[in-house]
Each structure stands twice: as structure tokens, then as C-alpha cells.
A and B are shown apart, each in its own frame.
Chain A
Amino acid sequence: MADDGDLLCRSYADRGSEDQFFDRERHIRYLEMNYQILTSPYESQEINHLTLAYFIISGLHILQALDRVDREAVIDWVLSLQAHPKNEAELNNGQFYGFHGSRSSQFQSVDNGVSVPNNSHLASTYCALAILKTVDYDFSLIDSSSISKSMKHLQQSDGSFMPIHTGAETDLRFVYCAAVISSLLDNWSGIDKEKAKNYILSCQSYDGGFGLIPGQESHGGATYCAVASLRLMGFIEDDLISKCASSCIIDVPLLLDWCLQRQAVDGGFQGRPNKISDTCYAFWVGGVLKILGANKFLNERTLREFLLTCQSEYGGFSKFPRQLPDLYHSYYGFTAFSMLQETGLNSLNIELGISTIHHTII
């Protein structure tokens, strides 16, 4: 360990980007390590265990290395986090029956009459389904109607979604989760699309981007949630800019301007004006451009160069150049390289945030 530390300190200095390449092997090793054991920086993220697993498993899939995971064990673990209603009647009690983010938010059901707190969460549910889709689990075995029926209770009168029935902030992130869950389950009964659409439209700011809630300043992540949700719900089409953008429900030219201006001089993407480039926005903003059919306008060469400065010596990507990697930024680094059509990477379904290639895993 001590040796590794020394090496870490040395290796971040003086690394030019010219001779660098996307180091797939190291990235696989990095994810594999995190698949085996989560390191201490993730202690506080225990509640988001499913999300971390999503980064690892879907990440390995993008890297075409899904054979490194034990498919059956992954499926069993994910399914063990699902909240099940005791009976049909419970589906109307206002609770959400999705997936728990981790073991600690899940209480073992005991039949002593005490109500068991159900903490299943929209984001965890999205990640659970994304993992199951990634490992090619048979979705007909999932009780999708419980998820959809109970998800309906989470939608607010303004169209936004609360992530958990016990109450939390409501914003575009959870509208996106609801849309992607419905899409993966191929069951749209859990969402009032018209209301959700109106909420999303109310979040578009005058500068063209979207804020997480109406009136908030535009943000790369929120913009992705908005555009991907509209696409998933069928309110916008692919390749909008080569079609009739002027009569589209959102202001596409303005959105395009905003997105393109998020590519900073160093080639990376920033999440908001005047912030510094950050690996993950290559996906959030780059993904929006791809959905719009406008990814040809971004400068792929400089983006690539920027991302490579965030590539860690030991695999994975960091938020900013020459820092330590983390799972979140690693995953969005991989997705960004997939969008840049790096060889040896699976292609992405941008709206769903996962790879689309499916093959039988032995």
C-alpha cells in the first residue's frame, strides 16, 4: 500500500497528453477492484450502494468486460433489494415499491405487526433496473406493475417527482428516473406524461438550458434529465436539428447554443457558464448534443485531449485533471469515450445511460 502511495504522488506530475491513449485494460482493472471491494471514500455513499454498483457493472459492460462479474450473484443481490408489497391492497397505500439503495435502508420484514419502513427510492430503482438490463435479465420476471402502480403516488401535482414516498426534494432528476424506469419496464402507467412534460418545459431557462426546478439557473445535468426524459416519453424525436426544430416543444436553437458553449477552451465541458471543465459533463452535455443530433458540432479532438488529462494512471477518471479517480467520474468518462466512438467500447443508449449491446453471458 505504501509503495502505491509513493507511486501515486510521482505519477501525476508532468504527464503530457500527446502520447496518451484510452487505457481500456487499466480501466477494467480499476472497476474490477471496486467490484471486489469498495474503498473507504465510499463509506458515506453506503446509501447509494446500488448506484455505485451501476457505475461498476454498466462500466464494465461499456468496456466489453462484463465477463468479469458473476451474473447470477449480481442478479440475486439486486433483486434482494426490491421492496415488495404484502398484497395488492398495499399498492394503494401511497408508498413506493421499488428498490432500496442499500442494505442499511432496508429493514427485514418481521411479522410482529410493526410497520416496516419502506425506503425504496427512484434513483436506486433506476440503477437496479439498469443493472438488470445490462446483465440481460429477463424483464418478464420483474413485477413491473407494482413498481409502476406505486410510482404514480410519487408524482406531484406540478408534474415533478418525489424520489421516495416519505418525502424529499422534487426536481428534474426524479422526473428522469421515472421516465427511464417506465421505459425500461415498457410500462408507462406510473407517470402522467403530459404533466411531466409541462414540468420539464417550465424548467427551460431563457438561455436555452434547463434548471433542476423552474427558475433555477441552467445546469448540464438538469439539461440532460430534461432532454432525455422528453425523448424517452416521445415528445421529441432523434436528430432534432436536422428536422423541424422551430416547431418543437422546446427551444432547440437556444438549447443548442447553450450546450455548445459549455465546451470550454481546454476542450472539456463545464456544467454551467464560467465553471471549470469537469469530466462528467462530457456525458451530460455531450449526451444532449447527441440526442439533438448535434454532436458533430463539438470539438471531439480537444474533448478527447481534455478527458485524457483526467485519466488516472491506475485506471478510472477524475473530476478535474490530475486528481484521484472516483467511480462516478470514471463511469461518465467511459460513456464519453463511447460517444467518441473509441474502439473496443460498446455503444451507448444515451437516454437510458447504459450500453445497448446485449449478448448472452455464459
Chain B
Amino acid sequence: MHGRPRKSATPVDENASALKAAKIRSLQSQFLQNHHNNIYTKEAQEINAKLIESNPEFMTAWNYRKLAFEHNLSNQSEVDKEDADHIKLIIDEELRVVENALRKNFKSYGAWHHRKWVISKGNSSTERELRLLNLFQKQDTRNFHAWNYRRFIAGLKDISDEKELQFTTDMINDNFSNYSAWHNRSVLLSHLLEKKVEGYFPKEIFLKEEYELVRNAVFTDPDDQSGWFYHLWLLDQTIKVDMPNLVSSWPPNGSEITNTTFPIVLFFNEPVEGVNLQTVSVQVEDDIFKNIAWSPLSANKFKCGQAWLTHLTIPFGETNSSKIFQVKIRSEYSQGIISSNGVPCSQHWSIAFRVSVCHDFQPEGQSLRRILMTDENFSTVDINSNVMDLFKSYFELASDYEQPTSSKWKSEMIASEIDQYRELLSWAECKIGKLTLARLLMANDAIGTPVAPNTTHVEEVLKLYSELMELDPTHYQYYKDEYSLVFLKQVASSKESLMKYCRQYKESTSSNITGPMCLRLNSLSLSRIGSFERLLWVQSLDLSHNQLPSIEGLEALQLLSCLNLSHNKIGSFMALDPLRFLKSLRVLNISYNEIGAHTVDTRRYLCSSPLSHTLDYDKKFEEFAAGDEKVVNFWEAYSVFGGLDIMQLDVVGNVAADERFKLFLVKLLPALKWLDGEEVH
């Protein structure tokens, strides 16, 4: 069925081939002569038809046919014009030529296009087109020209989606490994759902039957991937939360903080746009603040982000006494917050927290001591110490504005699928079955209980991914990434599990830079990080000795001041781009990574300079570099570190970290006190 060749490969003997070539050449020159001189006689059109039938790829010949066709229509005698049959005759002749061309090469773009063009002129029989399609689609079930043409005809002739759905069922029953049929099925069902056609809306009505249909396919041959893909689509349809929601924030609802200037972070379940003064209000006591500017925490140029940031300064005036301010952040017009798919948020939410301002409070001078995230500098967290307060409030209240999203039918459907695929795996060693089961189990946990994250199946899922890494080394990295994400989800799921990874700084080390506590996720062989919505409180983070190539998402942790990324797989400065947003960052360790080990392929920029690629820093960098040839090479590092007040930095153990680069860093970072363990003067 697969890989149908465009031409038959039977060897033709040389004479015949030469004869054929001579014939085509003669036809071609006659045709070109006619085309050039606008000759549209019957004979001329026959020459063209012969040429096309032997070479459907000849686009110029199809263009001539269109001109000839229009000529024929406009030059009919008056009698003919009245005669619908005559028009039909002209159209039939065109369709005949196309059909012959398609028989010669049913992958000819020009031929299929010409057919569409003719059919759009009207007066044709739907039946005939469907017959032709059935013929071609039986011969080559995956021919996407035919499938496209089928969708075109269905649209033009108003063939119902239900009828077309039946056709895909027939094709699937014929051969369930026909992915084109499964694909068209998903397109048609999406239409039916969108139009809320009876019997297809709401979606749980058809999902159950679809799960059954696809189960028949994958149980028959678990190694065939078509059905699995469709299953993935069904799963997505089942668990899809249909609108964007706020999932967490900093500061959390009900908390109390003591800084007078602090970041506010709103974290959504998917990237959204439209967070602004009209959609979100910030109220301190009775005043609604009008000078608030929200910006998405995202490196791209589009006004869209999963996390949104603003900074608030509490105006505590001249009062001598300590005071507590009530701050309220509320959705005012949540419909104005829109997902990247254009779906508005319809949930209303409100976050209230207290800021206690002590007038005597003076920020202590920033520490000059070198901060080391080594075991001897940490002790286990004392549950009763007051450093726990904020942490506690975050976890006790974080779920207050989470709306229950579960539906009974969803859990039931997924539970039943889980049973089915457990059964499948009991008799078939099937990697995609394991992957599907892992996805189903995670889906089950995600919709099971809305308030606290459910981790019932995490152990089983982690085991499945471990097995997959062994079983299918080709996709090792993918499974590893998934494993890391699930693992972190478990770590971040509750206060108790997080506590296992938290360490308290010993008094000698702790400072207002580090905060009292460090989240130590080191040496866990993580290849990806996630669950940031539950880590917004983190000030010190140790991710050293993992396998991270990227820190995407880390930009949401706006309190982050100490970050250890040493001994990972960061391959370039651009992979550290999220750091640009972490304005509180003071201590950074990126030693022993792979920065500079992979040459950045600047040759890619054939028509532009490397500088046109950076986002905000071009002009300033040009000034900074001032034509210094050596510094120009550090434009990527400049764009990441240029706006930060880093005081302690470790870069040793990267190919890029040579002496020249260190000099560049000293020049770039005026606040720098420690570089690779040495004091900077």
C-alpha cells in the first residue's frame, strides 16, 4: 500500500523510448505554437489533450486548457447557450482529459487542480466525482490529493459531515492502519462538535463510541501507530479544559509579606494575553492603583505569556507606627483575558493578602560573603521555625481560587480506558501501549480531585517511563523528559513532599539574599523542569548535577535570588534566556555546563547579521562593544546578563569561559563581587 511510485519502473527498450520522446517533442512544439497564437480549434485541443495524457506534469498545457475552456464557453452559438446539455458536454470533455491524466499519474498537482477548477464552474454530477474518488481511494488509500479533493467536493456539494464520517468508518473497517481516514474522522468530528450537531454534542456522546472503535484497531495490531494517534486525539478531547484559568499567584491568597516593594505574579494554566488595567485591578486598602503595568513573562515578541508580572510599591507615607495594608487583586473583566486559541477566561477570581510595614525596618546591607550551596551549609528544616510561615500559607491557601474542573463522565471514561489498556499490556509487550497508559494515568490524576493535586498513580507512571527508557532507547530522551516532569509534579504536589527537598541555611550562611531556605533539587538526573506554578515562593534553588539543557519556565520564579545550575547540559547562553526576567537574581552558578562546546551556527544568518536576532539590547550592545571585535562575539551573553545585578557568578568549566570572557563579565556586571570564587576588585 505504501510508497506508490509515481511512474512504473518497467524498463522500456531504447527504441520505444526514443520514439516516445520524438512523439512528445512533436506534440509539444505543435501545442506551444497553438498556445502562442491563441488557437483553440478542436484539433488544437486534441493535441493538447494527448500531450497532457502523456505528461500530466506539464503545467503550461493545463493553463492552455483553461483558456481554451473559457474560449469554448464564450464562443458558443446562441442556440448552444440555451442548451444546458452543450455546456455539460464541454465540462464532460474536460473531466475526461483530467481523468486520463490522473490515471497516468494520480499524484499530479496540476491535474487535480484543473479538476477542481472545472468543477467549480458548476453543472457537474456529484455522483460521478464520488465514484471517481472511490476508485482512486481504493487504489491508494493514503493519496492526500484524493482526500483533499474529497473534502473539496463534500464542501462544494454540501455532503453532510455524518455521511463523510460513514465513509471514514468504511475505510477504517477495510484497513484500520489508514491514518488518512482516522485524520479525516477527527476533522469531521471537530466540525460536528463545533456546529453542535445533534448526536455529537456534548462531546461525551460520541467519545465513548470512538474509544471503542479505536480500541478494536489497536487491540488487533498494537504495533500499528495509526489508531494510537487517534487515541491521543480522543484523550486530548476528553481532558481538554476549555478555557484559560488562573492557577496560582505570588503573593498567595491570605498570605502576609513584609517587603514594601515586591513582584506580583499571576500564573495561568496556559499562555494568555490581555492582562492589563481593564481586566485586572490592584487595590491597596481603598485605593485602586492606576499606574500598574502588567507584562508577560515571556521572551518572545508576542503579547502572550503563561505568567504575568507587575511590581507594587506600598506608599506607607510618614506614619511612624507599623501598619498593615490590605491588598486585593481581582479580575474585573476576565473575558478580556484570552488564550492563544482565542478562548476567553470566564472565571472570576480575587486574591487578598496583607503587607505589614514596619517603619523601622531597614534593609540590611547586601552580603559580600560568598554563598555556597554545599551540604555543610545546610541543615534540615525546623518545621516549627517561623521561616515556615510563608511556605505554609502558600500551600494551605494556594488552592482557594482553583475551580473544580472535574466531570464525572471524564473520570469514568478515563478509568475505563485505563482498565482496557492495563489488560492490553497484560498480553502484549507494546511500548506505545505503555506510553498511552502513562498518559491516561496522568490524565486521571489531573481530573480526579480538583483541590489538591492528586498523585495516586505517580509511582506507576514513573515505573512505566523507566521501562520505556529501557525498551525503546531511540526515544530515550523523550521518556526521560516526561519522567522528570512527572517526578517534579510529585515533588511539588504537597507541602510534605516538598519539605523533603528543602534545606535551611545555617546561620553562618543565611542572608537576605539567600532567604532562609533552599529548594534542593540537585543530583536527580532531571532533564526537564516544570510545575513552576507551585514553586513561585522559591528564593534559593539548587538544580546542580542534573541533565538540564534548558531552564524554560524558570522566569516565573520572580523571588529567585540564588540559583545553582552547575553540572548540567546547558549548551548556549541563549538557553539561559529566562534569566533576563529574574531581576532579583544575585548569585548564579552556571559552572561545568556545555556553553560554547557547540558552536553557534552564525552562518545560518545568510541575509542578516547576528545582531538583528537579539531582542532589546541591539543598540545598547553596540555602544557597549564600541566596535571592540572581541566583545562582539559575546552578544548572546550580553543579552542575557546585561540587565542583571549579579554579585556572585561561577562560569568555570564551560568552553566559553576563557580569560577574555571573564574580563567582559567584570566590565558588564558592575555589582559583581565574586567570579569563580575569586574576589573581584
Chain A residues engaging chain B, CB cutoff 8 angstroms: 1, 40-41, 43-48, 101, 104-105, 107, 114, 116-117, 119, 121, 133, 164, 166-169, 183-184, 186, 205-207, 212-213, 215-219, 237-239, 241-249, 257, 260-261, 263, 265, 272-276, 278, 296-297, 299, 302, 319-320, 323-324, 347, 349-352, 356-357
Given contacts A237-B300, A247-B304, contact A273 B179 (CB under 8 A): yes
Given contacts A104-B60, A119-B59, A237-B613, contact A356 B606 (CB under 8 A): yes
Within 8 A of A (CB), among B186-208: 186-187
Q: Does B253 contact A (CB under 8 A)?
A: no
Secondary structure of the A contact surface, majority rule: loop
Given contacts A46-B58, A104-B32, A260-B475, contact A168 B110 (CB under 8 A): yes
Q: Does B411 contact A (CB under 8 A)?
A: no
Interface residue from A105, A107, A297 paired with B478 (Cβ < 8 Å): A297
Q: Does B44 contact A (CB under 8 A)?
A: no
Interface residue from A41, A43, A205, A217 paired with B147 (Cβ < 8 Å): A217
Q: Does B163 contact A (CB under 8 A)?
A: no
Closest to A270 in B: B2
State whether B298 touches A215 (Cβ < 8 A).
Answer: no
Within 8 A of A (CB), among B469-512: 474-475, 477-478
Closest to A103 in B: B32
Please name 6 further chain A to chain B contacts, defined as beta carbons within 8 Å, in addition to the given A44-B54, A206-B233, A247-B304, sorted by A numbering: A43-B21, A43-B55, A107-B32, A242-B549, A274-B142, A275-B3
Q: Does B346 contact A (CB under 8 A)?
A: no
State whether A347 touches B298 (Cβ < 8 A).
Answer: no
Within 8 A of A (CB), among B558-586: 571-572, 574-575, 577-578
State whether A274 touches B59 (Cβ < 8 A).
Answer: no
State whether A273 touches B2 (Cβ < 8 A).
Answer: no
Q: Does B36 contact A (CB under 8 A)?
A: yes
Interface residue from B3, B17, B32, B58 paired with A319 (Cβ < 8 Å): B3
State whether A215 touches B304 (Cβ < 8 A).
Answer: no
State whether A217 touches B604 (Cβ < 8 A).
Answer: no
Interface residue from A119, A275, A349, A352 paired with B142 (Cβ < 8 Å): A275
Q: Cβ of B55: which chain A residues have Cβ within 8 Å of it?
A: 43-44
Q: Does B113 contact A (CB under 8 A)?
A: yes
Q: Does B409 contact A (CB under 8 A)?
A: no
Interface residue from B24, B59, B225, B572 paired with A239 (Cβ < 8 Å): B572
Given contacts A244-B577, A299-B474, contact A47 B7 (CB under 8 A): no
State whether B112 touches A169 (Cβ < 8 A).
Answer: yes
Interface residue from B3, B117, B224, B549 paired with A167 (Cβ < 8 Å): B117
State whether A117 touches B35 (Cβ < 8 A).
Answer: yes
Given contacts A167-B66, A216-B147, contact A206 B186 (CB under 8 A): yes
State whether A242 touches B478 (Cβ < 8 A).
Answer: no
CA distance A272 to B141 in the complex (A): 13
CA distance A219 to B553 in the complex (A): 30
State whether A244 touches B187 (Cβ < 8 A).
Answer: no
Q: Does B539 contact A (CB under 8 A)?
A: no
State whether A247 touches B271 (Cβ < 8 A).
Answer: yes
Given contacts A237-B300, A274-B177, contact A244 B578 (CB under 8 A): yes
Q: Cβ of A351: which chain B residues have Cβ within 8 Å of it?
A: 604
Chain B residues engaging chain A, CB cutoff 8 angstroms: 2-3, 5, 7, 9, 14, 17, 21, 24, 28, 32, 35-38, 54-60, 63, 66, 109-110, 112-113, 116-117, 142, 144, 147-148, 151, 177-180, 183-184, 186-187, 224-226, 229, 232-233, 236, 271, 296, 298-300, 302, 304-306, 340, 474-475, 477-478, 549-550, 552-553, 555, 571-572, 574-575, 577-578, 601, 603-604, 606-607, 613
Q: Cβ of A114: which chain B residues have Cβ within 8 Å of it?
A: 36-38
Pick the 9 closest A-B CB pairs, nearest first: A217-B183, A242-B575, A247-B298, A242-B550, A356-B603, A169-B113, A44-B55, A247-B271, A273-B179
Closest to A168 in B: B113
| Nearest CB in chain A: distance from B48 CB, A | 13
Given contacts A114-B38, A169-B109, contact A164 B59 (CB under 8 A): yes
Q: Cβ of B478: which chain A residues have Cβ within 8 Å of it?
A: 257, 260, 297
State whether B300 touches A244 (Cβ < 8 A).
Answer: yes
Q: Cβ of B225: which chain A residues have Cβ within 8 Å of it?
A: 261, 273-274
Q: Cβ of A261: which chain B residues have Cβ within 8 Å of it?
A: 225
Q: Cβ of B151: which chain A residues have Cβ within 8 Å of it?
A: 215-216
Q: Cβ of B59: which chain A residues have Cβ within 8 Å of it?
A: 47, 101, 105, 119, 121, 164, 168
CA distance A105 to B180 in the complex (A): 35
Q: Cβ of A237: which chain B residues have Cβ within 8 Å of it?
A: 300, 613
CA distance A112 to B286 in the complex (A): 84
Secondary structure of the B contact surface, majority rule: helix
Q: Cβ of A116: which chain B residues have Cβ within 8 Å of it?
A: 36
Interface residue from A43, A241, A320 paired with B3 (Cβ < 8 Å): A320
Q: Cβ of B550: which chain A residues have Cβ within 8 Å of it?
A: 241-243
CA distance A46 to B226 in the complex (A): 38
Indicate the member of B151, B183, B226 with the most A CB atoms within 10 Å: B183
CA distance A248 to B110 in the complex (A): 35
| Nearest CB in chain A: distance from B459 CB, A | 24
Q: Cβ of A166: which chain B residues have Cβ within 8 Å of it?
A: 63, 66
CA distance A241 to B183 in the complex (A): 27
State whether B578 touches A263 (Cβ < 8 A).
Answer: no
CA distance A262 to B603 in the complex (A): 27
Interface residue from A40, A297, A323 paired with B477 (Cβ < 8 Å): A297
State whether A273 touches B474 (Cβ < 8 A).
Answer: no
Q: Cβ of B14: which chain A residues have Cβ within 8 Å of it?
A: 1
CA distance A238 to B572 in the complex (A): 12
Q: Cβ of A244: which chain B residues have Cβ within 8 Å of it?
A: 298-300, 552-553, 555, 577-578
Q: Cβ of B578: which chain A residues have Cβ within 8 Å of it?
A: 244
CA distance A114 to B229 in the complex (A): 56
CA distance A212 to B235 in the complex (A): 25
Q: Cβ of A238: which chain B residues have Cβ within 8 Å of it?
A: 574, 604, 613
Q: Cβ of A217: which chain B residues have Cβ within 8 Å of it?
A: 144, 147, 179-180, 183-184
CA distance A272 to B225 in the complex (A): 11
Given contacts A119-B63, A247-B304, contact A216 B58 (CB under 8 A): no
Interface residue from A41, A213, A299, A319 paired with B148 (Cβ < 8 Å): A213
Indicate the member of B21, B144, B226, B236 with the most A CB atoms within 10 Å: B144
| Nearest CB in chain B: distance from A356 CB, A | 4
CA distance A351 to B28 in the complex (A): 36
8 A-B interface contacts by CB (under 8 A): A119-B63, A169-B113, A206-B186, A218-B183, A242-B571, A247-B298, A257-B478, A297-B477
Q: Cβ of B474: which chain A residues have Cβ within 8 Å of it?
A: 263, 265, 299, 302
State whether A242 touches B552 (Cβ < 8 A).
Answer: yes
CA distance A215 to B183 in the complex (A): 9
CA distance A275 to B180 in the complex (A): 11
State whether B574 touches A242 (Cβ < 8 A).
Answer: yes
CA distance A1 to B13 in the complex (A): 12
Q: Cβ of B549: which chain A residues have Cβ within 8 Å of it?
A: 242
State whether A352 touches B606 (Cβ < 8 A).
Answer: yes
CA distance A241 to B113 in the complex (A): 37
CA distance A350 to B605 in the complex (A): 11
State whether A117 touches B113 (Cβ < 8 A).
Answer: no
CA distance A272 to B224 in the complex (A): 13
Interface residue from B60, B66, B178, B300 paired with A105 (Cβ < 8 Å): B60
Interface residue from A48, A133, A274, A352 paired with B226 (Cβ < 8 Å): A274
CA distance A243 to B477 in the complex (A): 17
Interface residue from A212, A246, A296, A297 paired with B552 (Cβ < 8 Å): A246
| Nearest CB in chain A: distance from B207 CB, A | 15
State whether A273 touches B110 (Cβ < 8 A).
Answer: no
CA distance A275 to B298 in the complex (A): 38
Closest to B432 in A: A261
State whether B28 touches A273 (Cβ < 8 A).
Answer: no
State whether B572 touches A242 (Cβ < 8 A).
Answer: yes
CA distance A45 to B232 in the complex (A): 41
State whether A184 touches B7 (Cβ < 8 A).
Answer: no
Q: Cβ of B5: which chain A residues have Cβ within 8 Å of it?
A: 319
Closest to B473 in A: A299
State whether B57 touches A44 (Cβ < 8 A).
Answer: yes
CA distance A265 to B57 in the complex (A): 34
